[in-house]
Amino acid sequence: MPEGIIVKALSGFYYVRPVDDEDTLIQCRARGIFKKKGVTPLVGDRVQFAVTENGEGTVDEIEPRSTELIRPPVANVDQAVLAFSLTEPALNLQLLDKFLVHTSNSGLDTIICLTKRDLLPEGGEDDVTAHEEISLDEVKRLYERIGYTVIVTSTNTKEGLEQVRARLEGRISVFSGQSGVGKSSLLNAIMPELTLQTNEISMKLGRGKHTTRHVELISLDGEQGGFVADTPGFSQLDFLHMEADELSSCFIEMKPLSAGCKFRGCLHQSEPGCQVLAALERGEIAQTRYKHYLIFLQEMKERKRRY
């Protein structure tokens, strides 16, 4: 039975690219047995399929997934590229940290891609964030010190585009982030043949209009290959699939410290012998990151009370 990868899902159809024919797409339906099992094929799934007489096909088997994202719904991604603009809209570090929690919880390597550099004054001294008074240089230092790769980009000046492209080769990467930050423009600049639809920022609402309507894997040219997923923009994430005592393990600077806390299940609020609080006092954990941790913890507690 031939094997392939689902590169697009739309209106109940799954478009499969055979592993031995990169230029062909087979339009498939999923077998009814998946519905009975409560399983939905996802973009990124490696599948076995059968071709019918009319040239279409059926997805017969889904191979085990290495990763599975819920929002956006993509399987077998091993890297996330989080695109956040430096202006129009302003950089939202709380939302960025929420995305980082989710990519960490999903086991993904993560690149932070800061877009629209050309719209800022030279030097990086001005505040670029929506709620905290932090400059571009300070943002870069903060997240690079934690261990993230931070790439500053501009689709107009081409700054950082080659760095992003190099990081995509040979991997399945998902592009995500807040609406209106230039994800589609960034992908168009990296791969000019795409001509993905883009849209201007709504100045009245202060956010972008959604221009990507479905998840689709896009094949990268080059010897090493790779795929990228352009996904619908969205500005909210929830913590439905995470417990409160799991949250700190998704803040990568807190994770190694948690094991040394005096109490098992320490939530790093006011507990004695908490190693995270001690590191915060020493300045080893950024105040903004800890503040966002507490906000997310409160969200999780309120969600638990509702349900």
The answer to whether the pTM exceeds 0.85 is no
Instruction: With cut-offs at 50, 70 and 90, classify the pLDDT of residue 79.
Output: very high
The region of weakest confidence among 37-41, 97-101, 184-188, 254-258 is: 184-188
The whole-number average pLDDT for the span 267-293 is 96
d(CA 19, CA 116): 37
The answer on whether 113 is annotated among ligand-binding residues is no
Whether pLDDT at 307 is above 80:
no
The answer on whether 4 is annotated among ligand-binding residues is no
Domains within the chain, CATH numbers bracketed: 3-64 (2.40.50.140), 69-230 (3.40.50.300), 244-306 (1.10.40.50)
The region of weakest confidence among 24-33, 142-151, 187-196, 298-307 is: 187-196
The answer on whether 126 is annotated among ligand-binding residues is no
- Which residue, chain included where needed, has tokens 């934690």? 146
168-194 pLDDT, tens digit each: 998 999 888 777 777 778 888 887 766
Whether pLDDT at 286 is above 50:
yes
pLDDT of residue 97: 95
Instruction: With cut-offs at 50, 70 and 90, classify the pLDDT of residue 123.
Output: low
Task: Provide the percentage of residues in the chain whose pLDDT is more than 70.
Answer: 87
The whole-number average pLDDT for the span 208-212 is 43
Whether pLDDT at 212 is above 50:
no
pLDDT of residue 54: 85
The answer on whether 116 is annotated among ligand-binding residues is yes
The answer on whether 183 is annotated among ligand-binding residues is yes
Concatenated DSSP letters of the chain? --EEEEEEEETTEEEEEETT-TT--EEEEE-HHHHHHT----BT-EEEEEE-TTS-EEEEEEPPPS-EETTTTEES--EEEEEEESTTTTB-HHHHHHHHHHHHHTT-EEEEEEE-GGGSPTTS-SB-BSSS--BHHHHHHHHHHHT-EEEE--TTT-TTHHHHHHHHTTSEEEEEESTTS-HHHHHHHHSTT-------EETTTTEEPP---S-EEEEPPSSS--EEEE----S----TT--GGGGGGGSTTTHHHHTTSSSTT--SSS-TT-HHHHHHHTT-S-HHHHHHHHHHHHHHHHHHHH-
The answer on whether 176 is annotated among ligand-binding residues is no
Kindly list the distances between the CA atom of residue 71 and the CA atoms of 30, 174, 228, 303, in Å, as whole numbers in the listed order: 21, 11, 16, 18
d(CA 180, CA 269): 35
216-253 pLDDT, tens digit each: 888 887 677 788 876 654 444 677 678 898 999 999 99
Whether pLDDT at 142 is above 60:
yes
Beta strand 207-208 with 109-115: parallel, antiparallel or unpaired?
Answer: unpaired
The answer on whether 173 is annotated among ligand-binding residues is no
The answer on whether 182 is annotated among ligand-binding residues is yes
pLDDT of residue 206: 39
The answer on whether 37 is annotated among ligand-binding residues is no
pLDDT of residue 195: 57
